[in-house]
Structure 1
């Protein structure tokens, strides 16, 4: 799987900024290749619906047929990239692009909320070390836009470094990491 897909076409971001498509893509990224039928069962959809949405994702380069098919009679799909990125400025030049960018931001918040709630439902099943390690923090600092962008780059590089370091560790788990940097004027909350 390639590392990143940098979207420059607002139509491509709008294509993935569909409630079912973004969930299909996320599942293929996290759980690996699947058929439209398997994904339909997971999300309570018809296989016709998931098949249609997978073809739309393929049209814009987000997914492709899995080259390592287990059975020629089934069509397995896989994510092409580990994550999607875009330039807010570049894509916000049209109403369609602004709408897609706003949807994707809201979707990221929904995933964050769902991730925290899933952990909070049963933290003991993870063990004491994960209960201690899991969490969130917030801070407010004065940064320039250039420093905020540099922060993202350094955090991303640090994540790849830690991932490589822990790749064979027996206690390693998938960890959702969210980084958010938005300017604020006064208290927001």
Structure 2
């Protein structure tokens, strides 16, 4: 799927594409976990180059999903998730799920299928109920390194 193919939904402000690129999804996930992150910090945590992380952070900012966090100047540019209503960040992060599961390949496939079934009705609807806000739903099912702790 290319950026041009992404579905855009208007929320009364600029249209925001859904991130469907693995680096962008990983960056959004990292920002949700840490609050703020620079491209160098993201590169260290995610295993990508700083330049690649910087590019994708700028793309996420261009689409209104993140913004520069306050900083003291210089070359360091920390980024944070952008919330139109600052109260939303507290309400949404309170619903974060982070778990280490021990699954067989078949169980992982079944879990992925069931998650897709749960989110499909929300992705397909054209009209949003009053008070609905865009929320990034990120699910990654990936094997962990030996020892069972995420990188």
Structure whose alpha-carbon radius of gyration is higher: 1
Higher RCO (CA-CA < 8 Å; seq separation 6+): 1
The two structures have a TM-score, normalised by structure 2, of 0.50
The two structures have a TM-score, normalised by structure 1, of 0.41
Q: Which has the higher helix share?
A: 1
